[in-house]
A and B are shown apart, each in its own frame.
Chain A
Amino acid sequence: MVHPLKEEEMKEHETVSHKPEAKYSYTAGQALSAFLLGLKQGKIIGRKCPKCGRVYVPPRMYCEDCFYPTSQWIEVQDEGIVMTAVASFISWTRDRLEEPEIVGTIRLFPSSARDYVYPGLFHRICCSFDDVKTMRILGKMVKAKWRPQEKRVGSVDDIECFEVI
Chain B
Amino acid sequence: MKTNLKYRKVAAIGAGMTQFRRRVLDTPQEMAWEASRKALDEAGLELKDIDCVVIGSAPDAFDGVHMKGEYLAHGAGGIGKPVSRVYVGGATGVMTAISGWYHVASGMCKKVLAVAEEKMSPGRPHPQAVFRYIWDPITEKPLNPNLIWIFAMEMHRYMFVNKVSKEEIALVSVKNKRNASNNPYAQLGGEITVDDVLRSEVLVWPVQLLDVSPVSDGAAAMVFVDGDIARRYTDIPIWVEGVGWTLDNTSWPGRELAYPRYLENAARMAYTIAGIERPQKEIDVVEPYDPFDYKELHHLEGLLLARKGEAPLLLKEGYFDRDGEIPSSPSGGLLGVGNPIAAAGLMKVISIYWQLKGTAGKMQVKKPVHTGVAQAWGDLMQASTVIVMRN
Contact = CB atoms under 8 A, between A and B. Distances in A.
B82 interface: no
A32 interface: yes
B169 to A, nearest CB: 14
Given A88-B149, A88-B204, A116 B140 contact: no
A122 B140 contact: yes
B167 interface: no
Contacts of B214: 2
Nearest to A26: B137
Contacts of A17: 124
A64 B146 CA distance: 26
Nearest to B255: A117
A interface majority secondary structure = mixed
Interface residues of A, number: 55
A36 B24 CA distance: 46
B254 A118 contact: yes
A120 interface: yes
B159 interface: yes
Contacts of B202: 89
Given A3-B24, A89-B202, A122-B140, A116 B156 contact: no
A1 interface: yes
A69 interface: no
Interface residues of B, number: 49
A15 B122 CA distance: 10
A103 B21 contact: no
Given A3-B22, A5-B23, A58 B139 contact: yes
Given A3-B23, A90-B204, A84 B160 contact: yes
Contacts of A32: 138-139
Given A92-B129, A92-B145, A93-B129, A120 B188 contact: no
Contacts of B144: 91-92
A155 B140 CA distance: 10
Instruction: Find the residue from B142, B252, B256 having the highest chain A CB count within 10 A.
Output: B256
Nearest to A92: B146
A151 interface: no
Given A89-B205, A119-B254, A135 B159 contact: yes
Interface in B158-217: 159-160, 187-188, 202-207, 214
B41 to A, nearest CB: 24
Interface string A50-70: 000000111000001000000
A138 interface: yes
A49 interface: no
Interface in A59-111: 64, 83-94, 100, 103-107
A38 interface: no
A135 B156 contact: yes
B264 to A, nearest CB: 11
A85 B154 CA distance: 9
A121 B154 CA distance: 14
A111 B106 CA distance: 45
Nearest to B21: A3
A89 to B, nearest CB: 5
Given A4-B23, A92-B144, A93-B126, A117 B205 contact: no
B213 to A, nearest CB: 13
B205 A124 contact: no
A109 B375 CA distance: 35
Contacts of B143: 103, 122-124, 156-157
B249 interface: yes
B157 A84 contact: yes
Contact of B149 (A103, A115, A121, A135): A103
Contacts of B138: 26, 28, 32, 36, 58, 156
Interface of A: 1-5, 10, 15, 17, 24, 26, 28, 32, 35-36, 56-58, 64, 83-94, 100, 103-107, 115-124, 129, 132-133, 135, 138-139, 155-157
14 contacts: A2-B21, A4-B21, A4-B23, A28-B138, A32-B139, A36-B138, A57-B254, A84-B160, A90-B128, A92-B131, A92-B145, A100-B205, A106-B253, A132-B156
The 4 tightest CB contacts between A and B, nearest first, are A3-B22, A120-B254, A84-B157, A122-B253
Given A122-B139, A135-B160, 7 more contacts: A2-B188, A4-B23, A64-B249, A83-B257, A88-B204, A103-B153, A117-B254
